[in-house]
Amino acid sequence: MIRCPECSAEIDVDEDEVEEGEILSCPECESELEVSQTHPVHLNVISDDLDEEEDEEEEETELGEDGDHSDEEEEHEEEDEE
């Protein structure tokens, strides 16, 4: 018996029937889990690509066009140093 790394629910997996790289689904939280090793079976949660893309977009909007912080933020940082 294996536990979901996300919600700790028991997942009935036969070590002899799974292969490394196989994708399983947790019956409780419906997380996608990748078999990262067999004997003993170890599962890794596959993160949502959509969540990662949203995080990257938020980071880009916080930076200026040239990748630097905007002038306003730099002015605030200078005031804090004084």
Whether residue 40 is found in the same domain as residue 62: no
pLDDT band, residue 57 (cuts 50/70/90): low
Give residues with Cβ within 8 angstroms of 28, minimum separation 6.
4, 7, 9
**33: nearest Cα among 55, 54, 53, 18:** 18
For the chain, what is the domain count? 2
Are 10 and 26 in the same domain? yes
Residue 25 belongs to domain with CATH number: 2.20.28.160
Domain range for 28 is: 2-45
- Average pLDDT of the chain, as a whole number: 76
Same domain, 28 and 55: no
pTM for the structure as a whole: 0.55
Residues 28 and 57 in one domain: no
